[in-house]
């Protein structure tokens, strides 16, 4: 086999962009690319290692011998080593053997830009291509309509390793099996989007995928890159959007990963106060280094480009934004203005969001940000970070605290629910009941509900009904949609056997019904981020633990009336004020028998009376089902 030949995919302009932190297509240049040079097939390799004394490609093709195929360093001080190796083919495993200028340290690293990796615990990169014939043209043409902020956005959060496993050997499903089983299930249950917990290659299963080594490679645990494309493709063909968890906040220090890559702090910040995460024992990217910014933003755009991804949920944004996050006094240094904000991170996140929205129409970025940092989901031109949405962690915390309480005590805590409306429109909020809420002794969502078995499930149905009629988009972690009894265990399948029991199947039917309601009633989504989309009828009936409100869309004739009874008492002839005359029709009831409820309902068309109540000229008397949410339309 021939030695490395001088060859480059880089232009001077590429190098200028890379150094400036503005090269957002680095995956087309760095990494391993099968090409043909002067009629000879082989692979072009390029890796960024500015502190290296030498870089060799080692792999199956040269028996992993260092020095057999040394790359050439570019003359332009970019720190990029490159070369073309004839005869190397797709499917061959390889790494970079790097000797550092820093004391001659030798490291053996996986390719940061590899498109495919060996199946863990093996750690080599695999030469691969991204060839695939997509069949989702109709979805891509209309994606903007599905993903708009004034459209239904109901997300099913999935951990691929534990959604379902097969056989007594507890085997993972493959991407192709997910393309059949998961797609059918999500379509039946009515979610508009699926969010995958990180699919990028990761070495350690207990990290759930949140400590990455292969940022450009879908994990080989479930199949090849093309097989993951099939899964995305099939979801799109079923009219379901795909969101990926993206982790630019930290990475592990595994020997083959990004840490100390070329014998120096290349990707991580050299100051340990900024470059090490004390909670996760991981390394933190140097957001102020332009080449690192190019790497991260290129990675975000890579998934949108080559995998047709419709949105990125950015993990652990709060840990990125604050210099003192999980640090005691003396363990962090203020910024140049004396504040605790990480100015490099703020600048990076703005660049990231601007690049995403400028290059891909109809996608969304979503921030998991747990503090009151201002304007996370506001445009960068207005001073915001530029995200499309932000997780509403306060709503999640307060709502779960309320629902844990025995109904007899709820009259003293109604403020836990009503408080969210004081800030609900300060951001474009997504309401999350995520994986973080069903681990580490927190219990499952169903397991938090008080009372006997009937009351537990009634409370659960009420919780979900309240969630789906509250302003904002929705996210529900897998298993919660059928009332998973125990905490989530990433090492085994969800408890699918529970669906044989009517109470659990009733919850699943309820979620399907709520998704249908959400998608069919414009008042629930057209103004979901605007104060014009919500109006209280009565939030002060603490004694009866009842709330009533109106959800509004663009057409007032399509407004919906929502009434919640947070106690197990049937309240007959309960009067609420209404905005106009007409007939009131019940269109949804979480106490319906088909969902496992008692069947207390308001049947037929009820005549609205010209009787003032709740500060309105009109009113009506209703029968309120126990521990239930009821939705009405005026006709």
One-character DSSP codes across 279-311: TTTEE-B-TT-HHHHHHHHHHHHHHHHHS---E
Dihedral, CA atoms, 163, 165, 170, 174, nearest 10 degrees?
-110
Q: Is 368 a catalytic site residue?
A: yes
Please say whether the beta carbons of 615 and 577 come within 8 A. Answer: yes
Please give the Cα distance from 459 to 595 (Å, whole number): 12
Please say whether the beta carbons of 35 and 84 come within 8 A. Answer: yes
Please say whether the beta carbons of 623 and 602 come within 8 A. Answer: yes
Q: Which of 82, 351, 368, 591 is catalytic?
A: 368
Q: Is 315 a catalytic site residue?
A: yes
Please say whether the beta carbons of 190 and 510 come within 8 A. Answer: no
Which of 30, 6, 32, 211 lies closest to 116, judged by CA? Answer: 32
Helices (H), ranges, 342-434? 343-359, 393-404, 415-418
Dihedral, CA atoms, 458, 463, 468, 474, nearest 10 degrees?
-130
Please say whether the beta carbons of 537 and 548 come within 8 A. Answer: yes
Q: Which of 315, 427, 586, 591 is catalytic?
A: 315
Please say whether the beta carbons of 411 and 543 come within 8 A. Answer: yes
Please say whether the beta carbons of 431 and 396 come within 8 A. Answer: yes
Report helix angle 290-306 to 12-20, nearest 10. 110
End-to-end Cα distance, the chain: 79
CB atoms within 10 A of CB 569: 14
- SS3 of 464, please? helix
3-state secondary structure string across 17-83: HHHHCCCCCHHHCCEEEEEEECCEEEEEEEEECCCEEEEEEEEHHHCCCCCCCECEECCCCCCEEEE
Question: Could you tell me what percentage of the chain is helix, strand and coil, using 3-state DSSP and rounding each to the nearest 5?
Answer: 30, 25, 45
Residue whose tokens read 């390029």: 46
- SS3 of 346, please? helix
The total number of residues shown for the chain amounts to 635
What b/e readout covers 340-350, taking b as 16+ CB neighbours within 10 angstroms?
eebebbbebbb
Please say whether the beta carbons of 213 and 204 come within 8 A. Answer: no
| Alpha-carbon separation of residue 288 from 283, 292, 294, 380, 467 (angstroms) | 15, 8, 11, 18, 39
Please say whether the beta carbons of 500 and 491 come within 8 A. Answer: no
Please say whether the beta carbons of 251 and 258 come within 8 A. Answer: yes
Q: What stretch of H or E contains 95?
A: strand 93-100
Here the tokens at position 608 are 């609205």
Active site residues: 315, 368
């Amino acid at each position: 086999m021939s030695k490395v030949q001088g060859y480059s995919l880089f232009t001077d302009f590429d190098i200028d962009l890379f150094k400036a932190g503005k090269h957002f297509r680095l995956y087309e240049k760095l990494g391993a690319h099968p090409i043909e040079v002067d009629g000879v097939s082989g692979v072009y390799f390029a890796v960024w290692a500015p502190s290296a004394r030498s870089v060799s490609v080692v792999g199956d093709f040269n028996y992993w011998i260092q020095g057999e195929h040394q790359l050439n360093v570019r003359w332009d001080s970019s720190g990029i080593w490159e070369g073309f190796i004839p005869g190397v083919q797709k499917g061959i495993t390889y790494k970079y053997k790097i000797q550092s200028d820093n004391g001659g340290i030798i490291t053996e690293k996986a390719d940061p830009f590899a498109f495919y990796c060996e199946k863990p615990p093996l750690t080599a990169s695999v030469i691969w291509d991204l060839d695939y014939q997509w069949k989702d043209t109709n979805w891509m043409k209309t994606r903007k309509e599905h993903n708009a902020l004034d459209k239904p956005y109901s997300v099913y959060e999935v951990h691929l390793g534990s959604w379902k496993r097969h056989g007594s050997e507890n085997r993972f499903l493959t991407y192709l099996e997910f393309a059949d089983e998961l797609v059918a299930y999500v379509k039946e249950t009515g979610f508009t989007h699926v969010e995958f917990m990180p699919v990028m290659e990761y070495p350690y299963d207990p990290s759930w995928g949140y400590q990455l080594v292969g940022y450009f490679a879908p994990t080989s645990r479930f199949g090849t890159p093309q097989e993951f494309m099939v899964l995305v493709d099939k979801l799109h063909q079923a009219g379901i959007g795909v969101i990926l968890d993206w982790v630019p906040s930290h990475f592990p220090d595994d020997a083959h990963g990004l840490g100390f890559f070329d014998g120096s702090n290349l990707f991580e910040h050299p100051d340990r106060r900024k470059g090490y995460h004390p909670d996760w024992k991981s390394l933190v990217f140097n957001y102020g280094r332009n080449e690192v910014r190019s790497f991260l933003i290129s990675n975000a755009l890579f998934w949108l480009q080559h995998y047709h991804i419709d949105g990125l949920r950015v993990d652990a944004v709060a840990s990125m934004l604050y210099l003192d996050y999980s640090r005691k006094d003396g363990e962090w240094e203020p910024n140049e203005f004396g504040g605790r904000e990480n100015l490099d991170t703020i600048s990076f996140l703005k660049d990231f969001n601007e690049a995403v929205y400028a290059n891909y129409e109809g996608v969304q970025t979503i921030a998991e940000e747990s503090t009151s940092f201002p304007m996370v989901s506001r445009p960068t031109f207005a001073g915001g970070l530029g995200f499309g949405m932000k997780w509403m962690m306060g709503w999640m915390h307060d709502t779960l605290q309320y629902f844990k309480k025995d109904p007899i005590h709820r009259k003293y805590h109604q403020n836990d629910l009503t408080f969210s409306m004081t800030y609900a429109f300060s951001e474009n909020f997504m309401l999350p009941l995520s994986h973080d809420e069903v681990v580490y002794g927190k219990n499952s969502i169903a397991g938090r509900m008080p009372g006997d078995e009937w009351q537990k499930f009634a409370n659960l149905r009420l919780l979900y009904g309240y969630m789906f009629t509250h302003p904002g988009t929705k996210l529900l972690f897998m298993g919660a949609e059928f009332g998973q009894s125990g905490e989530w265990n990433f090492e085994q399948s969800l408890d699918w056997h529970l669906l044989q029991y009517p109470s659990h199947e009733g919850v699943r039917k309820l979620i399907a019904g709520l998704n249908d309601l959400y998608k069919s009633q414009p008042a629930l989504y057209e103004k979901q981020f605007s104060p014009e989309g919500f109006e209280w009828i009565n939030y002060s009936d603490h004694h009866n633990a009842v709330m009533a409100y109106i959800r509004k869309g663009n057409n007032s004739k399509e407004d919906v009336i929502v009434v919640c009874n947070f106690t197990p008492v049937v309240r007959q002839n309960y009067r609420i004020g209404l905005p106009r005359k007409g007939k009131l029709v019940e269109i949804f009831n979480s106490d319906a028998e088909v969902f496992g409820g008692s069947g207390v309902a308001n049947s037929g068309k009820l005549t609205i009376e010209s009787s003032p109540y709740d500060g309105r000229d009109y009113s009506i008397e209703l029968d309120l089902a126990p521990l239930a949410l009821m939705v009405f339309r005026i006709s």
